[in-house]
Structure 1
Amino acid sequence: MRIGIIGAGRMGAWHARNLASFDDGHTLLVHDARYEAAESLAKAVDGTAHHRADELLEAVDAVVVAVPAAMRTAAFPRAVEAGLPVFCEKPLAHTAEAARALAAVAAAAGNHRVQVGFQRRCDPGHRAVRERLGRGDLGRLLMIRCTAFDHEPPPAGYDTSSGGIFADCLIHDIDAVHWLTGQRTVSVLADEARVGGEPSAGGGPCGGGVAVATALLTLADGTRAVLTASRFNPYGYDHRAELLGTRDSLTIGLDERTPLRSPFTSGTGTPVHPAYTGFTDRFARAYQEEMRAFVRLARGEEPSVCPPAEAVLAQEVADAAARSAATGALVTLPAPRGDA
């Protein structure tokens, strides 16, 4: 299969390398506005670089859209209207309005082979817990608590260019809550701030403080989900989800590399197994399985693991959380539709 990669930045390169590692004989074609970046990535994955995106779209059987969110409003429509199977990085756009417009383009084109990159749907831990929930092993779900603590803070200005901590970071947890439970959010109360200004674990400044955020989601059945995020955690990359039910409780992301420790830990506190350092470390398997799922979608073997309509729902909640944080008010969302 000939698979195009539009966008040779961090995520485009990550997806390309995962695809190149599969034993499926894929041919990779790469385009980036910076042709030298496309050439470099193409060389690394034994592919070919293209100067023009339209030429690439004519030459491939499927395409990965991994340009920054602000550029997807141009790249995504061209890909779906070409009738190709499309993988698009999350979020579809920086706002729910823009995301709805992109989803509408795919629907109007009759292109149902579109997958949005919420990789936790392909994470083994999330899948195992979803199966347990579906069997009723946890009983009535009482509470979900999600932790999203990054290790190193992003570059200065990243939270602005990425759409903010709700749209860029906690949107993963919002989508995971929806997908795990089969429920949708009906209201959200959120807060965000920049705290401190302490040096990072690597010794560099946090650039005017650390971005932190919280969000309380109420789901359609009354279940509460508490989401917490920090752009800095000196001990490592800690992204977990804890689910409490009337019969049992489970934690996703709790293993020998989770950066947690007790005050009674002896020695320096450095774990025997080094703590996770970033998302490509913690979710390495999920990203591989995400690309495998896309290949199966492109071959017509299974439906999309994350269609655009579900990505729009997550974006709507992220937008509502940002509004709540700005105003201090509870934001109510429209009741979920049965076909959502």
Structure 2
Amino acid sequence: MRVGIVGAGRMGQLHARTLLKLPDPPAVVVHDVDPDGAHRLARALAEETGSRVTVRRTLAEVVAGVDALVVATPATQRRAPLLAAARAGVPVFCEKPLTADVAEARELVGALAHARVHVGFQRRCDPAYRALRERIVSGRLGRLLLVRCTAFDHEPPAGAYERTAGDIFTDCLIHDIDAVHWLTGQPTVAVQADGARLLGGAGYDVATAALTLADGARAVLTASRLDPHGYDHRVEVLGTEGSYAVGLDARTPLRLLGQDGTGRPPAPGPPYQDFTDRFATAYRQEIHDFIGMVTRGAPSPCTAEEALRAQEVAAAAGRAAATGTRVVLDPAPAADAATPVGGRAG
């Protein structure tokens, strides 16, 4: 089996290493718009694993010579490899979101209608998130009332990051938006949001979003680009018959204040530092699942349509924060409208 990696940056490196650590590793082919970066990655992988990693100069050469494609470029550069894979009938794994622009993402979903696509919302492949979803689907929590998500990064991203990755809603909270949809089985029908620039960055450093789900349940999402103690991403779900949390463990960078007034972590483990640390198991599992989709016809953990829905809600949250409006969305992806906060949805 041959797998192409398009994009030799951080995520391309992560997925390439995961592929080469599989029990039956595929041959890996790397392409990047920066040929030197592609060659550096190929050399590093060869030294680490002893595998022969090939570099291809053009996207066309990669797509023509592989059985599956991993798209790990910046979001602004994903359209071309996705379309090339669709035309060639090559199954594709794509980092989230499909592309930086919602209108372009809608176009891509149409073009990918008959393609096998797995979009990398890694929480869907996290063992604890999957266990939580099983409990929800089984009815053990009763009627869902509220979902609460925390998304605190350890350190702010580089200054130029938002130009290709998007703002705090479309880059960060989009993961939690998708997780809410996947966990509850309910789409978002309205969103209110707010954000603030408190750390001197170009975009929002902190943000909140309140989602109204189709069945009336609510989800409250909070995000920060800075947490001095570490990387803190977790979810809580409350139902009429029970409540569960995922992400509170020995490495959660949260200090507890006891009755004696002293602050302490919940356990002595080293705190999570970033997303590759906190979701290491999920990143490995999503590549395993992608290979299963390619070789065994297993279902995609996240389709292009599902990814688009999360992107539409994230974009709506950005508009809500910028305009001070409550944005109402049609349950089916596409049209939306804005009404004043406190106003009646149409």
Q: What TM-score comes out, normalization by structure 1 length?
A: 0.92
Shift of the alpha carbon at 1:44? 2.6
Measured after TM superposition, the shift of residue 266 of structure 1 is: 4.8
Give the letter for the 1:94 counterpart.
A
* Equivalent position of 2:165 in the other structure: 162
Structure 1 unaligned segments of length 5 or more: list them: 198-206
d(CA) in 2 for partners of 1:252, 1:269: 17
Of 71, 79, 86 in structure 1, the residue corresponding to residue 77 of structure 2 is: 71
| Aligned positions of 1:66-145 closer than 5 A | 66-107=72-113, 110-111=114-115, 113-145=116-148
2:323 paired residue number: 327
Summarize the Cα distance change of 1:82–1:209 in structure 2 as closer, same or farther, 3 Å threshold. closer
Question: C-alpha distance in 2, partners of 1:127/1:271?
Answer: 24
Indicate whether 1:294 and 2:290 are aligned.
Answer: yes
Q: 1:34 offset after TM fit, Å? A: 1.0
CA separation of 1:49 and 1:325: change in aligned 2, threshold 3 A: same
Q: Which amino acid aligns with 2:327?
A: V
How far is 1:208 from its partner? 6.9
Bigger mean CA offset, 31-40 vs 141-150? 31-40
Q: Which has the higher contact order (CA 8 A, sep 6+)?
A: 1
Structure 2 residues not aligned, in runs of 5+: 46-50, 334-346
Indicate the SS of the match to 1:88: strand
Q: CA RMSD in A?
A: 1.7
TM-aligned CA deviation for residue 268 of structure 1: 7.3
Secondary structure of the equivalent of 1:145? strand
- CA distance, structure 2, for counterparts of residue 161 and residue 87 of structure 1: 19
Paired position in structure 2 for 1:204? none
Structure 1 residue 267, shift from structure 2 partner: 7.6
* Higher mean C-alpha displacement, 239-248 vs 154-163: 154-163
Matched, 1:186 2:189: yes
The amino acid across from 1:140 in the alignment is R
State whether residues 69 and 162 of structure 1, in contact with CA within 8 Å, keep that contact through their aligned partners in structure 2: yes
Contact 2:18 2:284 in 1 (8 A): yes
Instruction: Provide, for residues 12-41 of structure 1, a one-character-per-residue CA deviation record: whole Å limited to 9, x for no partner.
Output: 111101111111131101001111111121
Structure 1 residues 92-115: Cα deviation after superposition (integer angstroms, max 9, x where no partner):
0123211111111112xx22x111
Aligned partners of 1:270, 1:227: CA distance in 2, in Å? 23
SS at match of 1:304: coil
- One of 302, 305, 308 as aligned partner of 1:306: 302
**CA deviation after TM superposition for structure 1 residue 50, in Å:** 1.2
Describe the superposition over 1:35-85 as per-residue Cα deviations: whole angstroms up to 9, x where unpaired: 111112122333111111111111111010111110112221111211101
Partner of residue 241, structure 1: 235
Q: Which SS does the other structure have where 1:330 is aligned?
A: strand
